Structure 1
Amino acid sequence: MVLMVFGQVLLRYLFGISISWSAEVSQFGMVWLCFLGAALAVKERDHMRVDYFINLLPATFLPFVHIILNIILFIFVAYLSYSSIPITLAFMQDITPGLGVPYGLVSLAMPVGGILMLFYLITDSINWFVSDKKEITL
């Protein structure tokens, strides 16, 4: 994506040539990168939370906090993924001007990223229940 944008800038300003589809590729890549990156953050347990307040709690509350955080995140991601399916289907009819592909392929990043996040949340929860809970930290 970076090479695409850099190449487009060079071509435009040095040679006066513009690639019509380069802006779309970089925009679509950014959308996919955001949702796949969010899934990776969930996998690595780096999703958004305020550790400062969690660390103020006694250690006996940490298992409950872990369960509550996973449940809240699971509900949010499940709703986001489910709600994005009609949008994705509706956008499949619209075609991008530069690439000639459906806009739905861009919005498909939301349900795909959501499914990956749900998968990682489920595996994290299962791993938490079957392993020694003292080894897993928030």
Structure 2
Amino acid sequence: MRTFLRWVWTAADILIAIIMIVMIVMVFVNVVLRYGFASGLRESVELSRLGLVWLVMIGAAVVLRRDEHLAVKDIVNILPRPVAAVLSRLAYVIILVSVLMLFWGAWQQTLANWNNISPLTGLPVSAFYIAGVLSSIIMICLAAVRIINPEAELDGGYDADTGDGELRS
């Protein structure tokens, strides 16, 4: 399981990096073409928007795994440990409900737009919503594990990796 988790988070980081690089290149090329040659790539606007949606949705799952979403923990930090654990679980229940709603809405939009083809790119419009489906599945798993065990290690040792294949203790 540890190897699988490391693979998932490595793949997520690589996907995020690739999307960022492609978006930067597309926007740069489009700016040069537009201002230097009075032309442009019409597809680059929609593909950049699609990349941003995927970037945000996969990034949200990564941030949830790291427990780095925006939160005010000052009050929780001064409470007794058992009370803080209950509040943490309650927060993850709320996250789970929210992500289940995200999944349901994204899934319905994916099905509704599967046959709608974008005239600029030729891609199904549902490509935007598939990002929400994939991200929400990952976040549902993360939230469920955190409800059961708020201290669970969900990275498979990924964050502790020194880069040379050895894990820090």
Q: Tell me the TM-score range normalised by the shorter chain.
A: 0.7 to 0.9
Q: How does 1:50-69 map to 2 (within 5 A)?
A: 50-69=72-91
What is the aligned counterpart of 2:123 among 90, 101, 124?
Answer: 101
5+ long unaligned stretches in structure 1: 132-138
Alpha-carbon distance in 1 for matches of 2:107, 2:139? 16
> Which secondary structure state, in structure 2, belongs to the residue aligned with residue 40 of structure 1?
helix
Give the aligned residue type for 2:128: V
Inter-CA distance 126–112: structure 2 relative to 1 (3 Å threshold): same
List 4+ stretches of structure 1 deviating above 6 A: none
Provide the aligned C-alpha RMSD in A. Answer: 1.9
Matched, 1:46 2:62: no
Between Structure 1 and Structure 2, how many residues are aligned? 131
Q: Report the equivalent of 1:134.
A: none
Q: Report the equivalent of 1:117.
A: 139
What is the aligned counterpart of 2:95 among 69, 73, 82?
Answer: 73
Q: Report the equivalent of 1:87.
A: 109
TM-score by length of 1: 0.84
5+ long unaligned stretches in structure 2: 1-22, 154-169
Matched-pair contact (CA < 8 Å) for 2:145–2:152: no
Alpha-carbon distance in 2 for matches of 1:123, 1:83? 23
Alpha-carbon distance in 1 for matches of 2:42, 2:108? 29
Give the aligned residue type for 1:103: V
| Deviation, structure 1 residue 55 | 2.1
User: Can you list the C-alpha shifts for 1:49-105, whole angstroms capped at 9, x where unaligned?
Assistant: 221232232333111112111111111101221122111111112111211111001
Inter-CA distance 130–51: structure 2 relative to 1 (3 Å threshold): closer
TM-score by length of 2: 0.70
Q: How does 1:14-29 map to 2 (within 5 A)?
A: 14-29=36-51
| Deviation, structure 1 residue 37 | 0.7
Indicate the percent of aligned positions where both proteins have the same amino acid. 30
